[in-house]
Amino acid sequence: AQTVTQSQPEMSVQEAETVTLSCTYDTSESDYYLFWYKQPPSRQMILVIRQEAYKQQNATENRFSVNFQKAAKSFSLKISDSQLGDAAMYFCAYRSGGGAQKLVFGQGTRLTINP
């Protein structure tokens, strides 16, 4: 079974600085998708960024980018120019590229932005 591990329960960063959230995963599959979801205090799960395992190029969405290291099974999220609105729980998630459609989530990292 696939597992996702986020080793940082909490992180904090100064506003306008850059922060990196770590995620590792375990799988024997070669075809899969990885995601970062943001959960603000409103509870809504919001997709931040996604990465297809077959793509070597790291995904980027504005201030959010990932460092995908397939051999190391690592998928970190970098937030540049941190803003107060980035404060939230961040979840790393895995989905098989095959039949199983469910998302497997890490335990989450609580990100605090210091003004």
Partner 1 sequence: DAGVIQSPRHEVTEMGQEVTLRCKPISGHNSLFWYRQTMMRGLELLIYFNNNVPIDDSGMPEDRFSAKMPNASFSTLKIQPSEPRDSAVYFCASRAQGLNTEAFFGQGTRLTVV
Q: Which of 108, 109, 111, 113 is the binder for partner 1 (CB under 8 A)?
A: 108
* Residue 47 Cβ vs partner 1, minimum distance, rounded to whole Å: 6
Positions in 11-70 near partner 1 (CB under 8 A): 35, 37, 42-47, 50, 52
Q: Which positions from 77 to 106 touch partner 1 by CB under 8 A, shown as an x/- string?
A: --------------x-----x--xxxxxxx
Pair of tokens at residue 33? 């998708």
| Closer residue to partner 1 in complex, CB, 87/104 | 104
CB contact set of 88 (below 8 Å; sequence gap of 6+): 38, 39, 40, 41, 110, 111
* Residue 66 Cβ vs partner 1, minimum distance, rounded to whole Å: 15
| Closer residue to partner 1 in complex, CB, 38/86 | 38
| SS3 assignment, position 37 | strand
Q: Torsions phi, psi of 2, nearest 5?
A: -80, 145
Contact 56, 106 (CB under 8 A): no
* Residue 52 Cβ vs partner 1, minimum distance, rounded to whole Å: 7
Concatenated DSSP letters of 67-97? EEETTTTEEEEEE-S--GGG-EEEEEEEEES
Q: Give CA 44 to chain center in angstroms.
A: 16
Using CB under 8 A, list all residues that contact partner 1: 35, 37, 42-47, 50, 52, 91, 97, 100-108
